[in-house]
Amino acid sequence: MATHFGLLASFKDSPTLYHAAEKVRDEGYKAWDTYAPLPIHGLPAAQGLGRSRVPIFTFIGGCTGFVVGLLMVWYMNLYDYPLIVGGMPFFSPVFPFPIAYELTILLAAFGTLGGMFIMNALPRHHHPLFNSEQFLASSEDAFMIAIESTDPKFDLEATRRFLEEIGGSEIQEIEA
């Protein structure tokens, strides 16, 4: 017997999708997502999604870059190549600023990229929705909600009726 990934329902336009997302959130579903060919203002809030945690990775990467830049110059000036020029000290926070600044930006960018990969569970080369012809239309002109069978509240028939009640059409079972 084939296992189900979940149910996929189409909605006629973005306001309908937005309000359906609010109803799915209020019903208590946790493992679900919306798909649309364009960004819909406020949809993440309607889904009950919080703020992204990717900026935390960016901040940690930036701080790491700044500290690494300072430590690198400190080590090179004090241990690796100690040279007194014009009575200047071996280390001052002013001298390594360009290096620390550039490493801050570089490692913040790497932190952002790494954070996106981690938080989005990438790389994911295949998803069960990719097998659905109906889902492929979501990149052109379709608005959809997919509720996964891993959701604790998921029941095939009850979830199908719920999607119909909130305005879903062309409800399709997606094989895992």
Q: What's the pLDDT tens digit per position in 125-139?
A: 888 888 888 888 888
Distance CA 169, CA 144 (A): 9
**Do 77 and 163 fall into the same domain?**
no
**Do 132 and 95 fall into the same domain?**
no
Residue 171: give the domain boundaries.
4-51+128-175
**Do 109 and 61 fall into the same domain?**
yes
Distance CA 10, CA 138 (A): 9
| Parts of the chain with a pLDDT under 50 | 1
Count of structural domains within the chain: 2
**Do 62 and 115 fall into the same domain?**
yes
| pTM score | 0.76
Q: Are 146 and 127 in contact (CB under 8 A)?
A: no
**Do 64 and 33 fall into the same domain?**
no
Q: Are 164 and 156 in contact (CB under 8 A)?
A: no
**Do 61 and 113 fall into the same domain?**
yes
pLDDT at 141: 86
**Do 67 and 107 fall into the same domain?**
yes
pLDDT at 172: 92
**Do 39 and 81 fall into the same domain?**
no
pLDDT at 90: 73
